Amino acid sequence: MIRLEHVSKVYKTSTRPALDDVSVEMEKGEFVFLIGPSGSGKSTFLRLLLREEVPTRGRVYVSNFDVAKMSRRRVPRLRQSIGCVFQDFRLLPTKTVAENVAFALEVIGKPRNTIVKVVPEVLQLVGLDGKEDRFPTELSGGEQQRVAIARAFVNRPLVLIADEPTGNLDPDTSQDIMLLLERINRTGTTVIMATHDHGIVDSMRRRVVELSYGKVVRDDARGVYGVGR
């Protein structure tokens, strides 16, 4: 599903590599936590999968895409098969809940009748049915993140990338979001989640890949946040 082979990334502005000879493989349907302190390379890792960045060395595969080598013209296809959720939700304040979700389909040219059908379905899946016409500012943080997840998932991506999705939420709400991500994972979607949240990682007991100074220092099949520290 996802494979990184000896991937290094050196930014022009930095002498130290953001990623240093990283090789990782993730299977279809896996739930993977990506942990490590700030600056350890988590964001770079995720950006490489989305081809927001190109690796300095090594190869990156997502599904059938040879991400590092692919032409710019095919990048949208790659991104259509990956959903993204962020700490800051990134919703459009001028659009309603339903419009925010529909936006993701509109801009990739899905026909209207498809949009009308799948948007309510996914809103129900994330537990926001009845709030279609609210605006993001009228929602709680947890609800806003649900909208963001609905938007990321509405096109049924193969992979869902979540970059600190609970970073702005209280522990209870975070738990709800994790349940939602688990439910999405059970549909066969690979979920990769970068996080600092010890509690969540420890309670979920999923695969943990830890990065430190751009290297993979730990890869446990059913790990916790900090063993032996």
Partner 1 sequence: MRTSFVFSEVVTGLRRNVTMTIAMILTTAISLGLLGGGLLVVRMVDKMQANYAGKLEVSVLLTNDVSANDKDCTQQPCAGLRSQLEQTSGVETVVFQNRDEGFERFKRIFEAQPELLKLARPEAIPATFRVKLEDPERTDVIKQAFEGKPGVKGVDDQGKFLERFFDGLNGLRDVALILALVQAFAALLLISNTIQVSAFTRRVEVGIMRLVGATRWYTQLPFLIEAVVAGIIGSVTAVAGLVLFKAFFLDRITRNLTESGIIPPIGYLDILIVSPWLFLVAIVISATTGYVTLRLYVRL
If binding is defined by CB under 8 A, does position 135 make contact with partner 1? no
In the complex, what is the shortest distance from the CB of residue 227 to partner 1, in angstroms, rounded to a whole number?
34
Which of 15, 109, 222, 228 is close enough to bind partner 1 by CB under 8 A? 109
Closest CA to 44 of 36, 35, 53: 53
Residue matched to tokens 């994330």: 126
Residue among 108 and 179 whose Cβ is closer to partner 1: 108
Phi, psi of 25 (to 5 degrees): -130, 140
Best CA proximity match to 177, nearest among 161, 163, 165: 165
Question: Which residues contact residue 72 at a Cβ distance below 8 angstroms, ignoring those fewer than 6 apart?
Answer: none
Q: Please list, in sequence order, all residues whose beta carbon lies within 8 angstroms of the beta carbon of residue 9, skipping any fewer than 6 positions away.
A: 17, 18, 19, 41, 44, 48, 53, 55, 56, 214
How far apart CA 83 and CA 180 sit, in angstroms, is 14
Q: How far apart are CA 31 and CA 61, in angstroms?
A: 17
Task: Specify the stretch interacting with partner 1 by CB under 8 A; choose among 59-67, 99-107, 136-144, 196-204.
Answer: 99-107
Closest by Cα among 64, 21, 20 to 159: 64
Report the C-alpha gap between 210 and 223 in whole angstroms: 10
Q: Is 28 in the site for partner 1 (CB under 8 A)?
A: no
Q: How far is the CB of 109 from partner 1 (least distance, A)?
A: 6
Q: Given the complex with partner 1, which of 92 and 227 has the nearer CB atom?
A: 92
* Residue where the block lists tokens 């990506």: 34
Residue 117 interacting with partner 1 (CB under 8 A): no
Single out the residue of 10, 24, 50, 224 in contact with partner 1 (rule: CB under 8 A): 50
State yes or no: residue 79 binds partner 1 (CB under 8 A): yes
* Residue 104 touches partner 1, criterion: CB under 8 A: yes
CB of residue 29 to partner 1, shortest distance in Å: 21
Shortest gap between Cβ of 93 and partner 1 (angstroms)? 9
Which residue matches tokens 């649900």? 146
Nearest to 156 by CA among 215, 110, 93: 110
- Does position 67 interact with partner 1 (CB under 8 A)? The reply is no
Q: Is 84 one of the binding residues for partner 1 (CB under 8 A)?
A: yes
Q: Give the binding-site size for partner 1 (rule: CB under 8 A).
A: 22
Using CB under 8 A as the binding rule, whether residue 107 contacts partner 1 is answered as: yes
Question: Which residues of this chain interact with partner 1, rule CB under 8 A?
Answer: 50, 75-84, 90, 92, 103-104, 106-109, 112, 151, 155
